[in-house]
Chains A and B, each alone.
Chain A
Amino acid sequence: MKTRRSSALNAVATGFVVLFLTLIVFFWARWGCESARSKLLPEQARKLDIDASSLIMPRTKEEPNGIPCLVHAVMMPEEVPTEGLGVLRYLNAHLPDAPNSPLYAWGVSGDYPRLYYSRSLGMIVYYFRLPVLQADGTYLTRPIPDGTEVVEEEGVAYAGPKGMGDKPDSKLGRFTDPLVRTAARDIAHQIVYDRGLRRFFVIDWHKKIVRQGPPLPGDVAPPVDFGWARKQSKCLNLYTETPEPLLTYGVNPGRTLVLDTAGSIRMLDLDTLEYTGFAGGLPAPATLFPSDRRAKPDDLFAFQVLPVFVNMGKQYVGCAVAVLSRDATAAKLEVFDANGASVAMADTFADVSRAGENGSPARSHSVPTATALYLDLPGEVLTGVKFVLESFHPPALLLASYFTASSIEATAGHRSLFVLPNSFVAMKGRDVRYGPIRRFWTALPFLLPSVLFGVLFGAAVARDARRAGLQGYARRLWVAVTVLVGLPAYITYRVTRPKTARVTCQNCGRWRWVNRETCHHCGSPWLVPELVPPAWRVIGQPEEQPCNDPSPRPEQTISRESEV
């Protein structure tokens, strides 16, 4: 009744539904494991402390009253599973002052300011109430009974790369994809990096000017963030502890730190809008399988870059950088001096109790937190569960996870359904200790169980398909798809498998399908022994009948017997 094409369409459609539902179940099982693991780390293992006194003024024999400066980083891994979910991320990302929201400020009901990027105009629009700046640089004032007050004006201004105006004029140019940060918490000053134009700009709404910097050199990676660069700050806290009262953060009026996509931190001079030097880089935390010494922003679930200024913000002394790994099992803190040289670094460690050799009593060892969480109880159990879940993942997708390991952004990995950037296979894919061939070889033990399950399911499908009498090409296709996709394909096969009745072939005695003309084992035609029709037939020729006599026939009566 059904064509081959519609059956194939049904199989594909059913397969997608099954795959979709199965992967969601697997996702939440993995999420549960992650959540459970995120709570295992004791408080002391989550903290990192570095003495950065040398940045400011270290205690020395000559200067026993040196200014201490401790840098602290605290990881909050229990926030990661929730923060990684898309719905929260989406809602947070669309709040007015979200990091990459084009809505920078929005006062309601006439409460200024309103500052936003208009995609249609390609300009930054500012509804302001600002003091009136006079030509001599002072603000206009007016006398009031108690003294004077600054005169404020209300208005709207439009800023493009070529200037500013009170109307959206095409002569002002267009920003194509700006990254905007407020300078030194002064909303009347913005630092803008336009990804399309590859330049920095400074917008001064007071002076109504837009300054443009030179284009970034071609060999320099584009910026990701500047000022107080941070990502997922709910999961990683970074702060300093010092009696020095005038440490300032964020964007100093004269300069600012810029983090680029390669993980390098550079100093940007806000007067020339050019890079003046290297300030540091994102360190790579000690994950289960080591990766590069330096990390990229996309490789990390969370990071914070904290510039440190002293002397009322006039002097830059260095910066502290804290990072949290993709899977939130390890954090690292590194401190750089004013020249970008690394001063100190620290990884998170946890104390685990391990049995001694030759029956000696268990001793406490300090191991990296990633190792502790994955390989020591009770994390071991969760690791086992994670491994089993990954083994049931479609082999083709798991293999794809290996090859796409580095290209998926860390937070997106916590929302990924199809490929698994946080799987063991993907971790091996990012393991830079080995060359590509050896790396793949060492990843095989993590890939093989999934392939094995795929083969087992494929074998089950092959056996059943042969019994079901599927045609050769259909059988081979099902087996191939099941080996590649694993459990979801097996479930799909069972759901869409034709459920045709079978009867015993009268010729060969084996099962045969009732919807086939001949037995697919011996080729014999049909015999239905339970139905024994008579040998006689009374079959007349069908004819086209003209319009029949409409009058009913008289009631039949039994007539007299007649001679033959």
Chain B
Amino acid sequence: MNHNPIVVEDLVKYYDGRCVLDGVSLDVPRGCIYGLLGRNGSGKTTMIRILLGLEPPTRGRTLVLGEDSSRLSAKAHGRVGYVAEGHNLIQGYRVSRLIALCKGLSLHWNDEFFGRLMETFRLPVDRRVRELSAGMRAQLNLALAMAIDPELLILDDPTLGLDTVARRQFLELAIDVIQRQGRTILFSSHILGDVERIADRVGILLAGKIVVDCTLEELKDRVKKLRVIFPQRVPDDLFMTEIINRQSQGREMVLTVANWNPQKQAILETFKPASCSEVPMSLEDIFIECTRPASAPVLQESEV
């Protein structure tokens, strides 16, 4: 039996006739910070909503804390903290009433921690939620999600709308949560710098499938970007498996390869390149390489 807090098995989701997720499978281990990445419309929010039982899957199944997402018990819900994309809160309520509601519906409410958060964020409790700024709503949403001492925290673009300072505060909060043993975070974000800072494991959704699901170190180790210069011109018959991207101009070829290994290196060496150097990539660089369509132009790398 799989004890991981999040298990996704062959998840398929159609919206009317349009396929969004096409057989996604992944496991988020306990205690892991999992960064779920993907371009707009790739299905990240859809997958998260399916995990929380807000959306039914078309096929496949998902398990959260050992329970089927479509039949999550109240107890399971109470162990999961969720920050929705757009910070969906009950707009007409006053902050104080919303807090009381969340407190009343929680299994465990950390008053002290919540109080500290409210002080840190300096949120007014007598105002209505719709009267708060986007950033304040994000902070409130985060505070409410954290106050229940969740075993699993699911964050869908949680820093959307936060300024730099608030974003840093959030990251520190996330780390604080992780410090408590056994806590797991699944979060999606477009700010890859933040993901790179805290995520242990990343997953990238592309064309309805998970194309990357490994640790950050492994990803950087297995995805290589090489600048290869040939003596004459780039050979036409240079074929290699798992090429993510390939750009040629004259004698120079920039090659991004997945699962770089000695066999691939040997293949490259048979074409006797004049030089071959690795271009270091950040997570953002890797993400762009992985998700950019083949026809998109290559960005100039800057040399350090």
A and B touch in the complex (CB under 8 A): yes
Nearest A residue (CB) for B7: A542
The A530-560 residues at the B interface (CB cut-off 8 A) are: 530-540, 542-548, 550, 552-553, 555-560
The B131-162 residues at the A interface (CB cut-off 8 A) are: none
Instruction: Indicate if B85 sits at the interface (CB-CB under 8 A).
Output: no
Instruction: Indicate if A564 sits at the interface (CB-CB under 8 A).
Output: yes
Q: Which of B17, B29, B259 contacts A538 (CB 8 A)?
A: B259
Given contacts A533-B206, A538-B213, contact A556 B282 (CB under 8 A): yes
The B1-50 residues at the A interface (CB cut-off 8 A) are: 4, 12, 14-19, 22-23, 26-33
Tell which of B73-81, B104-112, B191-199, B231-239 binds the partner: B191-199
Nearest A residue (CB) for B217: A540
B117 / chain A contacts, CB cutoff of 8 Å: none
A419 to B219, CA, bound (A): 73
Shortest Cβ distance from B299 into chain A, in angstroms?
A: 13
The B206-260 residues at the A interface (CB cut-off 8 A) are: 206-215, 218-219, 222-224, 226-227, 241-244, 258-259
- Total residues of chain B contacting the partner, CB 8 A: 70
Structural contact, B303 and A538, CB atoms closer than 8 A = no
Structural contact, A538 and B181, CB atoms closer than 8 A = no
Structural contact, B178 and A531, CB atoms closer than 8 A = no
The A341-377 residues at the B interface (CB cut-off 8 A) are: none
Q: Which of B31, B57, B303 contacts A548 (CB 8 A)?
A: B31
B211 / chain A contacts, CB cutoff of 8 Å: 533-534, 536-538
Nearest B residue (CB) for A516: B59
Instruction: Indicate if A514 sits at the interface (CB-CB under 8 A).
Output: yes
A539 to B283, CA, bound (A): 16
Instruction: Indicate if A136 sits at the interface (CB-CB under 8 A).
Output: no
Given contacts A536-B242, A552-B171, contact A514 B14 (CB under 8 A): yes
Binary contact track B280-304/A, C-beta < 8 Å → 1, others 0? 1011000000100000000001111
Instruction: Indicate if B56 sits at the interface (CB-CB under 8 A).
Output: yes
A545 to B4, CA, bound (A): 11
A146 / chain B contacts, CB cutoff of 8 Å: none
Instruction: Indicate if A517 sits at the interface (CB-CB under 8 A).
Output: yes
B33 / chain A contacts, CB cutoff of 8 Å: 548
- Total residues of chain A contacting the partner, CB 8 A: 42
Structural contact, A535 and B241, CB atoms closer than 8 A = yes
Shortest Cβ distance from A57 into chain B, in angstroms?
A: 89
Q: Which of B14, B196, B302, B304 contacts A503 (CB 8 A)?
A: B14
Shortest Cβ distance from A523 into chain B, in angstroms?
A: 16
Structural contact, B213 and A562, CB atoms closer than 8 A = no
A245 to B171, CA, bound (A): 109
Instruction: Indicate if B175 sits at the interface (CB-CB under 8 A).
Output: yes
Structural contact, A540 and B213, CB atoms closer than 8 A = yes
Structural contact, A537 and B258, CB atoms closer than 8 A = yes
Q: Which of B181, B214, B265 contacts A564 (CB 8 A)?
A: B265
Structural contact, B57 and A528, CB atoms closer than 8 A = no
A503 / chain B contacts, CB cutoff of 8 Å: 14, 17, 19
B32 / chain A contacts, CB cutoff of 8 Å: 545, 548
Q: Which of A501, A539, A544, A564 contacts B213 (CB 8 A)?
A: A539
B215 / chain A contacts, CB cutoff of 8 Å: 540
Given contacts A531-B208, A552-B197, contact A544 B59 (CB under 8 A): no
Given contacts A536-B244, A561-B279, A563-B277, contact A545 B200 (CB under 8 A): yes
| Sampled A-B contacts (21; CB under 8 Å) | A1-B56, A1-B70, A514-B58, A534-B206, A536-B211, A536-B243, A536-B244, A539-B210, A540-B201, A540-B218, A542-B201, A544-B30, A548-B33, A555-B197, A556-B196, A556-B283, A558-B304, A560-B280, A561-B227, A561-B278, A563-B276
| B residues apposed to A, CB below 8 Å | 4, 12, 14-19, 22-23, 26-33, 56-59, 70, 171, 175, 178-179, 181, 193, 196-198, 200-201, 206-215, 218-219, 222-224, 226-227, 241-244, 258-259, 265, 276-280, 282-283, 290, 301-304
